[in-house]
Amino acid sequence: MKILCAWCLKEGKPGFMGEMEPKDDPTVSHGICPEHRRQAEEQIEVLRKANGERLEALRKVQDERLEGVRKASDEDLDSLRRNVDP
């Protein structure tokens, strides 16, 4: 069975990474070569960082909005208390 790098093939390169048992099996299987794996891992890390920064920004906005809701609720409660127990 021949093993080919799918990423290399996409780039028009041969992509041959070797063979595995059974050697007389003409079937082709796909994998990823070390170079393309490194590139994919780098891209994943960039995306993780970007998504982490976006998530942190969203959490900050959410916290600010929740604080506004809490403040408004406290003000409403104070107003109700003043009206009920002058």
List pLDDT tens digits, range 24-46: 888 999 999 999 999 999 999 99
* Beta bridge partners of residue 18, listed in sequence order: 3
How many structural domains is the chain composed of? 2
H helix or E strand, kind and range, residue 2:
strand 2-5
pTM: 0.59
- Band the pLDDT of 17: cuts 50, 70, 90: very high
Span 43-59, pLDDT tens digits: 999 999 999 999 999 99
Query: Is there a single domain that holds both residue 22 and residue 49?
Result: no
Structure token pair of residue 31? 């994998």
Q: Which domain holds residue 86?
A: 38-86
Asked if 65 and 47 sit in the same domain, the reply is yes
Going by C-alpha positions, the residue among 49, 76, 14 that lies closest to residue 4 is 14
